[in-house]
Structure 1
Amino acid sequence: MTTETARTDGALAGLARFCYRRRRLVLLTWIIGVIAVAFVGFSYGAASDNDYSGGDSDSAKAQALIEKHFPEQQGDTLTLAIKAERGIDDPTARQKIEKVIAELDASPITGPVTSPYQDEDLVTEDRRIARTTIPLTDKDVKKAEVKPLVDAVKDASGDGVTLGLGGDKAEKAETPPQGSGESVGVLAAAVILFIAFGSLVAMGLPIVTGLMAVLGGIALMKLVGHVVPSPDFTVLVAALIGLGVGIDYALFILTRYKDGLQDGDEPESATVQAITTAGHAVLFAGTTVVIALLGLVAMGQKMMTGVAIGASVTVLVTMIAAVTLLPAFLGFTGHKINSLRLPRRTSRRRRADGVPSRERRTPAERWAGVVQRKPLAAAILAGAILLALAAPALSMRLSLPDASVQPHDRSSYTSYEILSEGFGPGYGAPLIFAAQVDSTNADLRPVVEAVRKTEGIAYATQPRISTDGQAAIFMAFPRTGYQEEATADLVHELRDDVLPKASGGEEIYVGGPNAGAIDFAEDTSSRLPLMITVVIALSLVLLIALVRSVTIALQAAVMNLLSIGAAYGVLVAIVQWGWFGPALGFPTDMPVTTWVPMMMFPLLFGLSMDYEVFLISRIREEYERTGDTRRAVTRGLARTAKVITAAAAIMIAIFTTALLGPDVSVKQIGLGMAVAVLVDATIIRMVLVPAVMELCGKANWWMPGRRARKATSAAQAAVGEGARV
């Protein structure tokens, strides 16, 4: 089957014709479908599940014991922190403090509140700082119900008394919504598209297609959450990814459609060719992103499986929209695709053979020539820059954000600051010890005493036995905070040395949110190599099948690893080391959020393969036509530079808008992915690819078998044609 046949025959061609000719039906179906799915999904979608525990870790076993034998411990709590400059017994301060406690106690969502005036253990020796715990009556209490309590506490501060309300529910209640970040990203994408196309109509189609696809995808994702629950940050991540790939995929197809019109094709014929060439490449690229995302399932973690499925659903919807909704839109626009055009100077025609004249060589062609004249030097320089950017990643630490890394105007941070001053930084990072016992008379006092004497422990409570006499728990507070490396070292010392000696061989588990976060980070670090291996292996198989070259597939894998490594390194330098962190919206230096690097890898590997497909396919086509690798690389860069640059700019614009939001974890993934796309579109595509391909020469096209150099399927030819965009 020839390339020309691939343009006009086959399932994709038939789908394109149907969507073009029945455009009103297709558009109406999409509008009704998106509205219906959005209504059902946002009204009846599954609640988010942020539980990262589970498995065989110590913290998971401790949590299982607590849930089984101490059901009264399962309720969520808030912590009121109090600091009075003149002491809490000052009449003015006491009046204010007791009023706040009364308001908290009277709330319909709280249980009985113990006043620090009734329990001396809740007050520091100098009686300047106090605390109390507020139990919540409902485990599923909503943010809107907790927010008034947070506001009441913040409003009561003043006149020498500082109050802060902490706890997971309070922290979430005062975290503002993501806001207009995505809107800014869409606006930036619109500007980039207008510059690239010079037409308001052409600019609008990718935007509208991407927005409709993302809305439907996120709503569908919330429904899928009933089967595979996902954490609350999945919506933000899916929105970032969906907007990025949705607009980019429409951009690739629309560019090919405009080329068809310029070549004299009728709108329907140009639409069919765009879908069977660039559209086919979009399906391949989107499938690569989905497969890479599903590599997260190899982590064996319930939370990340939910993220993988949820984000994959959104990407699938954007793929479907690109090859169905966009052809329908093209049916309405036809030749008017260039309407409302930006005035431009008419360019001179190309020579009859399609090769630009010498004086009309594009900047991309001239740049490729520079790199190809000194390929070894260019490769070494690019590699050195990438390795230097990646170097900080060697010191990456993983953790989950807590109140200590939140903006300093938050009530939860005020609570953390007061409690750290009065009761030590480890007060917000308690360790909960759980053990099975055989009676209510079980004696854990030797264990408690051994823990209390351990260096790094500030205080340990007395043990409690469950009412059924089968389990016991006690708590200990480290001298160091939740985010400090010394706290993780302390947990390991307790597990590996202190507890085995003190317990006489009995199993005592260290749990609690602090230990759970440590176990989650270490489990992630241990499984990350497996996920990377799975994603690389699957992507290599797909790329080899597409470009029919083992050499180029291996080049792509190595270069993608370098760009992702560079993104990791920059992320560590900014987030963990604090370089320019405050300027980019990070309140303080902090470890990288545990799920961010494992989420970034499959996403970036898949997105990098998108650009690889469009660039290498075009280079392959030119090589098969001329047999000249150098010329093929030059022409391939020239024909794809504009669209890849525009696509990368859109991705970067959308990802960086995450920095405008309030969630420090989403900020991290947005920053890391923007850096990776920038590195990929510049150092990788513009320097390393032409340099390495020049060095490899004919070895670029090595493939086992006598017929390796021949395209063996119309699909491959169609995707190669897709690189014309």
Structure 2
Amino acid sequence: MTTTETHPRDGALARLARFCYRRRRLVLMIWIVGVAALAFVGFGYGAAPDNDFSGGNTSSAKAQTLIDKHFPEQQGDTLTLAIKADRSVDDPSVRQRIEKVIADLEASPITGPVTSPYQDKSLVTPDRHIARTIIPLTDKDVDTSKVKPLVDTVKEASGDGVTLALGGDEAAKAETPKQGPAEGVGVLTAAVILFIAFGSLVAMGLPIVTALLAILGGIASMKLVGYVVPSPDFTVIMAAMVGLGVGIDYALFIVTRYKDNLQDGDEPENATVKAITTAGHAVLFAGTTVVIALLGLIVMGQRLMTGVAVATSVIVLVTMIAAVTLLPAFLGFTGRRINSLRLPRRTVRREPVGAASQERRDLAVRWAGVVQRRPLVAAMLAGVALLVLAAPTLSMRLSLPDASVQPHDRSSYVSYRIVSEGFGPGFSAPLIFATKLDAEHADLRPVVEAVSRTKGIAYVTQPRVSKDGQAATFMAFPKTGYQDAATADLVHRLRGDVLPKAPSGEGIYIGGPNAATIDYADQVNSRLPLMIAVVIAVSMVLLTALVRSVTIALQAAVMNLLSIGAAYGVIVAVVQWGWFGSALGFPTAMPITTWVPMMIFPVLFGLSMDYEVFLISRVREEYERTGDTRTAVAAGLARTAKLITAAAAIMIAVFTTSLLGPDVAVKQGGLGMAVAVLIDATIVRMVLVPAVMELCGKANWWMPGRRASKPTPIPPARAREEAGV
């Protein structure tokens, strides 16, 4: 089906639009009361986030199962107190300060007994300048707000040649600031873009109010859905960015069509109905594509990513519903006053009505003509540019952030740096070996010796037997750190070569946070191609149904892959290689966060299909009217260039605001999505689409099993004039 206009009374979508327009007060009240109720329940009683990415049938998951069952005393979280003294930790004044800090930490109601470095010589370096100790937390699910005072206590004790810092996951969470005003900056930027596009405060406000109300209800719904399908804490931020972007864009498409209908002489009610049955229909299709693409994350077979898929889909669904119900109600209140509250503008001379719009259309048509005259050259240049940008993707490494990639003023980073200097970078990346004890594993000394002789291992602890005598563990510390590629290679070598060859090595699992991160990355690398294939296949089927062309659906899939590949390449260059990383808020070069590539792919593929739908549906309308592909492409570009540019600018503004936040993983996702949208709205839509469609000609509209329709041809000059170009 296409978005060609029908009689405003036809179809369920038209009846819905007319109902919402006429019963606008009722619709608005339902939305306000409904969102308020959802917000009260969702934000007050919603499910807590789940950040446990372990599980499944991996070696690290099996090791963790053994530890949880047989070593319950090891399940609590811990903090690491790191100490560095310019003189010596044995200096009387230094020792007095260290012991006071340890006493203060031990006195906290959330900590257990602490072993002083003065009681265990292994906790102090041979030169007596660096020391460490472990602070056990008594509650497995400790409130991070209770950890913050401990971090502050340690920070305040530093000075006069002594540096103290508190590390550990809970310490890092406690000192990480909230997301802050990032989303607010995104909304403000979107408002500026909308005002430039519409020139009216009323027209500017409708998409923003619609999107914000939908996002509030969507996030509250997400928190309730979390009881059924849990998701990690980054989901809210990522979903809010996606929801804000698509929510404003979807409303923008409908308001633009509404304004066009008013200019064509329609009454406000019919203009609203026509806008919903054309642009609103495309919004529903585009939003459905985004939801289906997001649900492709389920293919990854990971519990939490399924939660991310469902939660983010919920917010997109709510924005879609708001676009076709709440927005028509708002349009009923504004009527012809959609262009009200224009800011006064100084003009040098009066322009004819529509002159600026016609000038922009003429510019788009001229640009399309330039591309269409040399389509092969344009397509090759654009393709090469995208492939060059995508090239760094081949070196992408995946991991999860740890203290080593946090801002350098954080206590967790300082603790990591001190411990790495004194005890080696691998101290923060221990490997935990776990096995059941039976006749075969009664003596673990041969295994311990084999592991200790392995290249890349710094040292190995002696085995510990559980209190029930049914399991044993020991730890090995690598010479390299958590984020080093050599550490992942070491884990693979231990599993694939060392343990199988060692006596009693079978049935011994390698776990711990380090190994779990490596297993998670391996899972993503192995299943990401399947998810990509599923998302592409389903999206192609949907687009084929909309535009009735296999060729265009195939073109869209290839172009979207190129733009997303280029975005991946930019992320690798900035984040992993460190190009301009510090300027964009990344403290240091680091691997790509494991969930980022699989999270942003379905989002970007769905959003790219949005732009494809709004462009190609217009092109299809013109082709069916004129029968000339070149004229149809030029007219489609002319009619959608401003709209797609504004929509893309809003998306880019929303996504780049993530760079203002503290979460390095969310920053990576926001950067990748902003780059992909920028590439999609420029190189792809303005160069590749017209060039490739020109090269394909009549083949653009090929559909198997059916003869191509033959529209009544219109002379090109007349067609261009009627299309307004």
**TM-score, normalisation: structure 2:** 0.95
Kept in 2, the 8 Å contact 1:563–1:680? The answer is yes
Matches of 1:90 and 1:505, distance apart in 2: 46
Q: String of CA shifts for 1:564-587, please: whole Å, max 9, x gaps.
A: 000000000000000000000000
Cα distance between partner residues in 2 of 1:331 and 1:699: 43
Contact 2:70 2:468 in 1 (8 A): yes
Cα deviation, residue 506, structure 1? 2.6
Aligned CA distance change for structure 1 residues 282 and 668 (closer, same or farther; 3 Å): same
Which residue of structure 2 aligns with residue 269 of structure 1? 270
Instruction: Note the alpha carbon deviations across 1:577-632, whole angstroms, 9 max, x for none.
Output: 00000000000000000000001110000000000000001111111111111100
Q: How far apart are residue 102 of structure 1 and its match? A: 0.8
Q: Which amino acid aligns with 1:106?
A: A
Aligned match of 2:206: 205
Give the equivalent residue in structure 2 for 1:546. 546
1: CA distance, partners of 2:360 / 2:28? 42
* 1:24 counterpart SS class: helix
8 Å CA contact 2:268, 2:332 repeated in 1: yes
Alpha-carbon deviation of 1:155?
1.3
User: Secondary structure of the residue that 1:53 maps to in structure 2?
Assistant: coil
Match of 2:13 in 1: 12
Q: Secondary structure at the match of 1:369?
A: helix
Q: Which residue of 2 aligns with 1:419?
A: 419
1-side partners of 2:234 and 2:5: how far apart? Answer: 45
List aligned pairs for 1:381-420, cutoff 5 A: 381-420=381-420
Alignment correspondent of 1:40: 41
Q: Which residue of 1 aligns with 2:604?
A: 604
Instruction: Mark the CA change 1:102 to 1:270 in structure 2 (over 3 Å): closer, same or farther.
Output: same
Percentage of matched positions with identical amino acids: 80
- Asked if the contact 1:448/1:462 (under 8 Å) is kept, the reply is yes
Give 3-state SS (helix, strand or coil) of 1:109's partner. Answer: coil
Tell me the amino acid that sits aligned with residue 526 of structure 2. Answer: S
Per the alignment, residue 691 of structure 1 pairs with 691
Answer with 501-510 or 659-668: which moved more. 501-510
Letter in 1 for 2:184: S
**1:20-99 to 2 correspondences below 5 Å:** 20-99=21-100
Q: Aligned equivalents of 2:397 and 2:37: distance in 1? A: 43
Cα distance change on mapping 1:547 and 1:113 into 2, 3 Å: same
Please state how far the C-alpha of 1:370 moved relative to its aligned partner: 0.5
Distance 2:5 2:43 in 1: 45
Aligned residue for 1:161? 162
2: CA distance between counterparts of 1:269 and 1:321?
Answer: 19
User: What letter is aligned with 2:443?
Assistant: D
| Contact preservation (8 Å) 1:6, 1:276 | no
Q: Distance in 2 between matches of 1:6 and 1:473?
A: 74
Evaluate the alpha carbon distance shift between residue 623 and residue 4 of structure 1 in structure 2; reply closer, same or farther with a 3 A threshold: closer
Q: Distance in 1 between matches of 2:618 and 2:352?
A: 23
**DSSP-derived class of the 1:510 partner:** strand
Give the secondary-structure state (helix, strand or coil) at the position aligned to 1:695. Answer: helix
Q: Which runs of 5+ in 1 are unaligned?
A: 712-722
Q: For residues 3 and 564 of structure 1, what CA distance do their matches in structure 2 show?
A: 30
Which amino acid is 2:617 matched to? S
Tell me how far 1:286 sits from its aligned partner.
0.3
| Structure 1, 176-185 or 432-441: larger mean CA deviation | 432-441
2:240 alignment partner AA? A
Please state how far the C-alpha of 1:437 moved relative to its aligned partner: 1.1
Equivalent residue number for residue 190 of structure 2 = 189
Counterpart residue number, 1:240: 241
Residue in 2 that maps onto 1:108: 109
- Quickly say closer, same or farther: Cα 1:361–1:508, change in 2 above 3 A: closer
Map of 2:720 onto structure 1: none
Partner of 1:529: 529
* Paired residue secondary structure (2:216): helix
1:463 aligns with 2:463: yes
Partner of 1:717: none
2:304 alignment counterpart: 303
Native 8 Å contact 1:83 1:129 kept in 2: yes
Deviations 1:219-265 (A, max 9, x none): 10000000000000000000100000000000000001111111111
Contact 1:439 1:470 in 2 (8 A): no
Deviation at 1:12, TM superposition (A): 1.0
Deviations 1:87-132 (A, max 9, x none): 1111111111111111100001111111111111111111111111
Q: 1:6 to 1:488 in 2, by over 3 A?
A: farther
Does the Cα contact within 8 Å between 1:78 and 1:168 map onto a contact in 2?
A: yes
Structure 2 SS opposite 1:148: helix
**Residue of structure 2 in register with 1:652 after alignment:** 652
Q: Tell me if structure 2 keeps the 8 A contact 1:456–1:480.
A: yes
Runs of at least 5 residues in structure 2 that lack an aligned partner in the other structure: 712-722
Q: Which residue number in structure 2 is paired with residue 433 of structure 1?
A: 433
Measured in 2, the distance between the counterparts of 1:242 and 1:655 equals: 11
Counterpart CA distance in 2 for 1:439 and 1:188 is: 68
Matches of 2:449 and 2:574, distance apart in 1? 41
Cα displacement (A) at 1:56: 1.3
| Structure 1 residue aligned with 2:328 | 327
SS at match of 2:486: helix
Partners of 2:259 and 2:58 lie apart in 1 by: 56
Report what 2:519 is aligned to: 519
Q: Give the match for residue 316 of structure 2.
A: 315
1:46 Cα deviation after fit: 0.5
For the residue of structure 1 that corresponds to 2:223, the secondary structure is: helix
Aligned-residue RMSD, C-alpha: 1.8
Would you say the 8 A contact 1:8–1:276 is kept in 2?
A: no
Amino acid at match of 1:133: I
Distance (Å, rounded) in 1 between the aligned partners of 2:171 and 2:15: 55
Pick which of 498-507 and 379-388 moved more: 498-507
* Partner in structure 2 of residue 173 of structure 1: 174
Aligned partner letter, 1:536:
I
Deviation for aligned residue 1:457: 0.7
- The 3-state SS of whatever aligns with 2:8 is helix
CA distance in 1, matches of 2:280, 2:122: 68
- Cα distance change on mapping 1:223 and 1:66 into 2, 3 Å: same
Q: Deviations over 1:655-710 (max 9, x none)?
A: 00000000000000000000000000000000000000011111111111235538
Q: State the alpha-carbon separation in 2 of the partners of residues 311 and 398 from structure 1.
A: 23
1:69 Cα deviation from its structure 2 partner: 1.1
SS in 1 for 2:509: strand
Indicate if the aligned counterparts of 1:34 and 1:215 stay in contact, CA closer than 8 A: yes
Contact 2:600 2:672 survives alignment (8 Å): yes
Distance in 1 (CA, whole Å) between partners of 2:379 and 2:507 is 55
Aligned partners of 1:548 and 1:709 also within 8 Å: no
Q: Deviations over 1:143-193 (max 9, x none)?
A: 111111111111111011101111111111110000000100000000000
